């Protein structure tokens, strides 16, 4: 059992207000609070960018957790582990003891561990005559238990951000393809306009993106590409309306689509070979972009852009308005940031938190998001939460829906309509 509320470090290590704050926080654990240590560790791995810890620090923490005798972290079982650095080195696959000490200090600094140093700085345990632990000196796992909800929320935010970035990349790929092929069509049809200048603007936007862009940079690029696409479409539509060939606009549209049936362009047009005005160095860049773009197009064909309800989503799945989803699944509101859901991103964050609570593995949820699309996967998680009392294994149920969605055998609409009827006021159900 642990004694005392505050402990100071041994030797030359000084006491700080941050250490004291962590100890005070760890002392506020509820008596009945517990959490699965390996489930919490997986959430830590997801949330590591926001916690400021690296892979090797997590390896040391994994070794420390392996010395805790039970799977459930709980105050009543004691939260002190006391392995030596040699034992930690063995369980971190031969990590040098000096490196182990450095990463232990990083975990303490991040507020994930507390030191409970003995009078001589060694780690050991005292037991009573019955063999029960009377007092232990080593590292306390209490901060992990105290911050369990915070860590899971951070993990949900990181996963939602990753899905958001993936969605942005897919939409950018589709927009790039649209812009490139529209310019190619304009050049083939010899429509008057500064198409070379528009193509140069398009290339500047693409090449100005950093190698590892942030979500904000991707959102800005997507907006600029959509504006460029709208400008090109407006020019082409103006040309179509002004042309009275055979008095049939549909004929003109077919003519534009089929005027060059032997074109083999997959992502971007070889514009410089048609105009003869692009620099030779651009040809090499274009070939490299073409090869990279083939993989992006193959992935993006699995899912179309979803900006509003009623469109077809990835795998042919139809998405629905956010308001309708929340009306059918009101329980998901409690898991949104600040207890509210204002947009699709909030719903995706809440869905990841619900996924963790229901025991759905990250791989099952990511597979569902890839097949159905992020918004539809979040909608399905909201429906599973709403029907939680009727579903034995949420993870198995989600994987089953994912497989059905891949085969085109699953639609979200009937599930939402059933929940809407179930949640409707009694007066509306009658008659």
By the 8 A CB rule, do 303 and 314 touch?
Answer: yes
Residue 128 burial (CB < 10 Å; 0-12/13-18/19+)? Answer: exposed
The 3-state secondary structure of the chain, one letter per residue: CCCCCCCCCCCCCCCCHHHHHHHHHHCCCCCCCEEEHHHHHHHHHHHHHHHCCCHHHHHHHHHHHHCCCCCEEEHHHCCEECCCHHHHHHHCCCCCHHHHHHHHHHHHHCCCCEEECCCCCCCEEEECCCCCEEEEEEEECHHHHHCHHHHHHHHHHHHHHHHHHHHHHHHHHHHHHHHHHHHHHHHHCCCCCCHHHHHHHHHHHHHCCCCCCCHHHHHHHHHHHHHHHHHHHHHHHHHHHHCCCCCCHHHHHHHHHHCCCCCCCCCCCCHHHHHCCCCHHHHHHHHHHHHHHHHHHHHHCCCCCCCCCCCECHHHCECCCHHHHHHHCHHHHHHCHHHCCCCHHHHHHHHHHHHHHCCCCHHHHHHHHHHHCHHHHHHHHHHHHHCHHHCCCHHHHHHHHHHHHHCCCCCHHHHHHHHHHHHCCHHHHCC
pLDDT of 184 > 60? The answer is: yes
* Cα–Cα dist 431/425, whole Å: 12
For range 60-66, the mean pLDDT: 93
pLDDT of 426 > 50? The answer is: no
State the pLDDT at residue 5. 57
Other beta carbons within 10 Å of 115: 21
pLDDT tens figures, 295-312: 443 343 343 334 333 344
Give me 19's structure tokens: 């250490």
pLDDT-derived band at 131 (thresholds 50, 70, 90) equals low
pLDDT-derived band at 252 (thresholds 50, 70, 90) equals very low
State the pLDDT at residue 320. 81
Cross-strand pairs, 257: none
pLDDT of 265 > 90? The answer is: no
State the pLDDT at residue 316. 56
Other beta carbons within 10 Å of 304: 17
pLDDT of 425 > 90? The answer is: no
* Cα–Cα dist 180/139, whole Å: 59
Q: What percent of the chain has pLDDT over 70?
A: 72
By the 8 A CB rule, do 226 and 307 touch?
Answer: no
Residues with Cβ within 8 Å of residue 425, at least 6 apart in sequence = none
pLDDT of 235 > 70? The answer is: yes
pLDDT-derived band at 255 (thresholds 50, 70, 90) equals very low
Give me 368's structure tokens: 């569902």
pLDDT of 283 > 60? The answer is: no
* Cα–Cα dist 258/277, whole Å: 25
State the pLDDT at residue 135. 77
* Cα–Cα dist 256/133, whole Å: 82
pTM of the predicted structure, to 2 decimals: 0.52
Among 25-29, 120-124, 154-158, 213-217, the range scoring the smallest mean pLDDT is 25-29
pLDDT tens figures, 312-367: 444 456 678 888 899 989 999 988 888 889 999 999 999 998 888 888 888 899 99
pLDDT of 204 > 60? The answer is: yes
Q: What percent of the chain has pLDDT over 90?
A: 28
* Cα–Cα dist 51/397, whole Å: 32
State the pLDDT at residue 285. 46
The backbone torsions φ and ψ at residue 13, rounded to the nearest 5 degrees and listed phi first, read -65, 130
pLDDT-derived band at 154 (thresholds 50, 70, 90) equals very high
Residue 382 burial (CB < 10 Å; 0-12/13-18/19+)? Answer: buried
State the pLDDT at residue 78. 75
pLDDT of 39 > 90? The answer is: yes
Mean predicted lDDT score pLDDT of the chain:
77
């Amino acid at each position: 059992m642990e004694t005392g509320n505050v402990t100071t470090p041994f030797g030359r290590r000084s006491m700080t207000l941050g250490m004291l704050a962590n100890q005070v926080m760890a002392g506020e654990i509820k008596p009945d609070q517990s959490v699965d240590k390996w489930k919490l560790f997986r959430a830590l791995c997801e949330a590591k960018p926001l916690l400021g810890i690296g892979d090797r620090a997590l390896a040391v923490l994994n070794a420390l957790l392996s010395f805790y005798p039970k799977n459930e972290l709980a105050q009543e079982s004691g939260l002190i582990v006391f392995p030596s650095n040699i034992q930690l080195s063995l369980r971190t696959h031969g990590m040098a003891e000096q490196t182990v000490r450095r990463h232990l200090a990083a975990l303490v600094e991040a507020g994930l561990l507390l030191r409970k140093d003995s009078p001589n700085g060694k780690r050991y345990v005292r037991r009573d005559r019955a063999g029960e632990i009377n007092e232990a000196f080593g590292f306390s796992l209490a901060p992990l238990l105290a911050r369990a909800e915070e860590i899971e929320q951070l993990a949900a935010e990181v996963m939602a951000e990753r899905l958001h970035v993936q969605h942005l990349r897919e939409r950018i790929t589709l927009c790039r393809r649209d812009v490139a092929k529209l310019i190619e069509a304009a050049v083939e049809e010899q429509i008057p306009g500064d198409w070379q200048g528009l193509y140069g603007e398009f290339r500047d936007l693409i090449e100005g993106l950093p190698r590892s862009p942030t979500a904000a940079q991707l959102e800005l690029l997507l907006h600029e590409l959509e504006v460029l696409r709208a400008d090109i479409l407006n020019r082409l539509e103006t040309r179509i309306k002004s042309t009275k060939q055979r008095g049939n606009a549909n004929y003109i549209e077919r003519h534009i689509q089929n005027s060059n049936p032997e074109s083999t362009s997959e992502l971007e047009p070889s514009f410089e070979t048609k105009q003869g005005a692009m620099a030779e160095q651009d040809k090499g860049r274009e070939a490299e972009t073409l090869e990279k773009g083939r993989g992006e197009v193959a992935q993006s064909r699995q899912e179309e852009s979803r900006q509003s309800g009623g469109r077809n989503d990835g795998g042919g799945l139809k998405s629905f308005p956010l308001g309708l989803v929340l009306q059918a699944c009101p329980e998901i509101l409690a898991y949104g940031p600040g207890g509210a859901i204002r947009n699709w991103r909030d719903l995706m964050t809440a869905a990841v938190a619900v996924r963790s609570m229901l025991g759905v593995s990250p791989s099952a949820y990511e597979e569902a998001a890839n097949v159905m699309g992020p918004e539809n996967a979040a909608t399905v998680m909201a429906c599973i939460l709403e029907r939680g009392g009727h579903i034995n294994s949420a993870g198995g149920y989600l994987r089953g829906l994912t497989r059905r969605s891949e085969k085109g055998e699953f639609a979200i609409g009937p599930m939402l309509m059933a929940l809407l009827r179930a949640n409707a006021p009694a007066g509306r159900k009658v008659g």
